[in-house]
Amino acid sequence: MRLIARYAVELKTEYEVVTVWDEKTDRACVPKSDPHIETLSRTHPSAIWFERKMHDDFGIIIDDAFDNRPLVHQERFPRGVYPMQKQFTQTALEAAEYLPYKYEAIGGDGVFEVAVGPIHAGIIEPGHFQFSQAGEDMLHQEVRHFYKYRAVEKMLEGKTLADAKAVIERISGNESVAYQTAWRDIVLQATKTELPEANRKYHALLLELERIIHHLTDLGFIPNDAGFGAALAFCSKLSEEARRQMQHLTGHRFGFGAIGFEETKIDTMQMKHYLDDLEKEMMFFEEWITDIPSLWDRFDTTGILKHHKALKYDTVGVVARASGVALDRRESDFYRAHGFVLHTEKSGDVAARFKQRLAEVKNCITMMRALLTEKTEAVTLHTVQDGEYVAYTESSLGELFMSIVLKDGLIERFFVRDPSFMNWQALHLMMPGNIIADFPLINKSCDLSYAGNDL
């Protein structure tokens, strides 16, 4: 089975530990007085971040885990403070004594450590990468994030679904429409409301436009990290045009406020012209970029994630599909009826992840043509019903999972698992056999979200 998520929900005298698989959901209650659970990390390594987060959030002790270090608690976070507990109501914390974080390291003669981050020489969020090196060769990498602990889960407790939307759609800027789509699906479940076909098509069109924006950005930056800046210039123009289309449709370049239940009119002719132009540009770009042997010398066999490792670490999205894992939440009757084709690559290297994005952009154009609709209908939502609701969306990065528990019409527990939470944990598998100068190229070929990861 594939692990999707593992998280805790606080009850009166117990914690309920929810483990979501692709085939079922397991639930186990542990008493607050002695909260212990068994680790899953021996068979599913990706469980370890979920489990370390549960300890930092609630104080739940993970038995038999290979890693019990703090995850979201940084070096001066107060000991014994668990901010997701209901009893925690503080608005400020006093820094504790500095407690060094012990990084994984490989010993031996001539082996040394290289630290990259958390502050980077670019406009990106903080993230730390610790390397064990033998000369230029990378022997091991450890990823450490969670420097931007925004307390999103805590912040949303006590809010209505409507009030929570503005926060949810801003969790990760390059997945705003995807987060809104998951929120929409939970609203529809909680109100027992059907979404008209035209509205569903329009929302799907916006999701594919967001995917195009993200993929175009990557199709420029990946060659740029291999020294071919012309691709970045070309794709930056295309991604900017796509962002302007998003603003034209939704009123915002990132699609904030894009997914709702009001009537919307769409300029279909303008969108058809845009898609025709983009298709021509992509045909030129693909022919141009595939005829540069020196570029593919850098892409081929660099940063390989083997198929069995992609499965073992429960990877999702482009990272998984480029390693031959046929996994996409759009694999459904609705999307297939509108032109969706599941594409995979086999080699699992930078080249595969680049080609995967090329194929997906072309398929997005096909789908968007089929999804075009003149207008959406105004939808009247029924009364929100209490309960636990889950939703899945295929964001530009992969499978997004969201769970919301409602009590008295308000959010009792909010949990979201960004695709990057899974894929960051597999990044280190791509490093051995490559030199440290290839790290930016490998990292960019995955292009994972820091913000979606660091709630």
- Span 340-362, average pLDDT: 98
Shared-domain flag, residues 193 and 318: yes
pLDDT band at 123 (very low <50, low <70, confident <90, very high): confident
- Span 390-405, average pLDDT: 98
Classify residue 177 as left (phi > 0), alpha (psi -120 to 50) or beta: alpha
Shared-domain flag, residues 58 and 165: no
Reported as a single tens digit per residue, the pLDDT across 145-190 is 999 889 999 999 999 999 999 999 999 999 999 999 999 999 999 9
Instruction: Find the Cα–Cα–Cα–Cα dihedral 92, 94, 99, 101, rounded to 10°.
Output: 20
Shared-domain flag, residues 235 and 312: yes
Q: What's the pLDDT at 124?
A: 81
Reported as a single tens digit per residue, the pLDDT across 44-103 is 999 999 999 999 999 999 999 999 999 999 999 999 999 999 999 998 899 999 999 999
Shared-domain flag, residues 181 and 87: no
pLDDT band at 441 (very low <50, low <70, confident <90, very high): very high
Shared-domain flag, residues 435 and 296: yes
Q: 115-119, 336-340, 376-380, 386-390 — which is least confidently predicted?
A: 115-119
Position 384 in a domain: yes
Q: What's the pLDDT at 149?
A: 87
**Residue that terminates a domain, selected from 66, 101, 136:** 101
* 212: nearest Cα among 182, 188, 178, 184: 178
CA–CA gap between residue 227 and residue 290 (Å, rounded): 15
CB 51 within 8 A of CB 40: yes
185, two tokens: 């699906």
pLDDT band at 362 (very low <50, low <70, confident <90, very high): very high
CA–CA gap between residue 340 and residue 102 (Å, rounded): 46
Shared-domain flag, residues 288 and 375: yes
Position 110 in a domain: no
Position 71 in a domain: yes
Reported as a single tens digit per residue, the pLDDT across 230-283 is 999 999 999 999 999 999 999 999 999 999 999 999 999 999 999 999 999 999
Please provide the distance, in angstroms rounded to a whole number, between the alpha carbons at the two ends of the chain: 26
Contacts of 154 (CB under 8 A, 6+ apart): 83, 84, 88
Contacts of 419 (CB under 8 A, 6+ apart): 316, 317, 395, 397, 398, 399, 400, 448, 449, 452
Shared-domain flag, residues 35 and 183: no
Position 191 in a domain: yes
209, two tokens: 């436009």
What is the edge-to-edge ordering of all strands in the sheet holding 387-395?
Answer: 387-395, 398-407, 410-417
Shared-domain flag, residues 178 and 56: no
Position 138 in a domain: no
Position 122 in a domain: no
Shared-domain flag, residues 188 and 324: yes
Q: What's the pLDDT at 156?
A: 98
Cis-peptide into 432, omega within 30 deg: no
CB 207 within 8 A of CB 177: yes
The whole domain housing 384 covers: 160-446
Position 120 in a domain: no
CA–CA gap between residue 258 and residue 73 (Å, rounded): 34
Between the CA of residue 445 and those of 225, 319, 442, what are the distances in Å? 9, 8, 5
Q: What's the pLDDT at 112?
A: 94
What residue type is assigned to position 247 of the chain? Answer: Q
Shared-domain flag, residues 269 and 358: yes
Reported as a single tens digit per residue, the pLDDT across 210-237 is 999 999 999 999 999 999 999 999 999 9
Between the CA of residue 27 and those of 9, 40, 115, what are the distances in Å? 10, 14, 39
Write the CATH number for 185. 1.10.645.10
CA–CA gap between residue 52 and residue 379 (Å, rounded): 41
Shared-domain flag, residues 91 and 220: no
pLDDT, averaged across the chain: 96
Shared-domain flag, residues 217 and 347: yes
Q: How many domains does the chain have?
A: 2
